[in-house]
Chain A
Amino acid sequence: MSEPIVTRTSATNALRANERRDFMSYMWGFGLALGLTLVPFALVQWQAMARDPLLITIAVLALVQTVVHFRYFLHLDRKRKREDLLLVLFSTSLLIIMVAGTIWIMANLAERMTPI
């Protein structure tokens, strides 16, 4: 009769480990996101860089923070739920096509139409 109890205990342990892992995931996410938010705000507040490198830094940090959010808050990784990851990657590629295409075309048009 002792076997089922052993199993249940190990299951409970696994559950606890899972909970701890999930909790740490949110903690990591919160910490990283906080850092990735603070840095660009500080850079802009004190105008710590020239404009172009600053813009690039902001963009890179935003992208990194997006990945952090997806990874730690939305639990998107390669181990579980591959279909969701594929969906997000596919959507991102279309989003890039649409947004970058729009900006490319409209910027080109603006350049050619601007009265000199």
Chain B
Amino acid sequence: MISELFKRLEFYLDARQNKEIFIYPGLNLGVEHSDAHTQAEATVFGFWVFLMSDAIIFGMAFATYATLLHGTADSPGPRELYHLGPIFIETLLLLTSSFTFGMASIAMKYKHPTSRLVGWLLITLVLGVVFLGMELNDFRAMFAAGGLPTQSGFLSGFFGLVPLHGLHVMAGCIWLVCMLGQIAVHGLDSETKLGLLRLALFWHFLDIVWIFIFSVVYLAGLA
């Protein structure tokens, strides 16, 4: 009877510990590092705050774009410059990369072999790089069609917003390469995990920004 009770208790305690470990999806620092754990919580929360600050930067870039929407000054406008096809593919690339990063997070959290984690990360990286390449190609096509940022307020607004997202994706790709390097050098220690966790947040966040870019800039521009 008493041993039964103890078993129960142990189970609950265990479950509670599990819950503590899994406060953040992808974070698995083990119970023994309770100090590291508190610091990890602060780090991840701090990164969330940073993302929100970054969201305001994007918000202001969107607001500027909206303000300048009619300032085309007789140079090409959305209908002449935007093409739905490549944007659709870019959207799928970014969405898939968000998913593959999610798979990487699961591989890390549930301690799958490191090779599987690295594999998912590499797929994510390739998707990100292809996205950037396609976006650059879009810009090149726009330049060729007379859509230079020096032409009009509208185009300034466009090139103040969309490449800003592109630069973020580029930063994300560089960061991803660095994280692969850290895995190679240090293995999956808690600092590397924490880095990957933040990178995952960053990556998913950029995908959310992209929702607004394809909706507000491209779809609304062509509607």
Contact = CB atoms under 8 A, between A and B. Distances in A.
Interface in B72-105: 84, 88, 91-92, 95-96, 98-99, 102-103, 105
Interface in B169-223: 201, 204-205, 207-208, 211-212, 214-216, 219-220, 222-223
B215 A58 contact: yes
Contact of A19 (B63, B99, B102, B106): B106
A104 B214 CA distance: 22
A65 B110 contact: no
Contact of B215 (A33, A59, A74): A59
B18 interface: yes
A14 B204 contact: no
Nearest to B204: A73
B106 to A, nearest CB: 5
Contacts of A74: 201, 204-205
B207 A30 contact: no
Contact of A80 (B23, B95, B204, B212): B23
Contact of B10 (A3, A73, A94): A3
A51 B211 contact: no
Nearest to A18: B22
B124 to A, nearest CB: 13
Contacts, number: 131
B45 A22 contact: no
Contacts of A94: 56
Contact of B59 (A3, A18, A33, A99): A99
Given A11-B14, A37-B95, A88-B52, A22 B67 contact: no
A98 B95 contact: no
A80 B19 CA distance: 10
Contacts of A69: 98, 204, 207-208, 211
B60 A98 contact: yes
Given A58-B223, A73-B207, A91-B56, A22 B84 contact: no
Q: Is the interface of B mostly helix, strand, loop or mixed?
A: helix
Given A14-B18, A87-B45, 11 more contacts: A3-B10, A7-B11, A18-B18, A41-B88, A54-B223, A58-B219, A66-B208, A87-B48, A95-B55, A95-B59, A102-B60
Interface of A: 3, 6-7, 10-11, 14-15, 18-19, 22-23, 26, 29-30, 33-34, 37, 40-41, 44-45, 47, 51, 54-55, 58-59, 61-62, 65-66, 69-70, 73-75, 80-81, 83-84, 87-88, 91, 94-95, 98-99, 102-103, 106, 110
Interface of B: 3, 6-7, 10-11, 14-15, 18, 22-25, 45, 48-49, 52, 55-56, 59-60, 62-63, 66-67, 70, 84, 88, 91-92, 95-96, 98-99, 102-103, 105-106, 109-110, 201, 204-205, 207-208, 211-212, 214-216, 219-220, 222-223
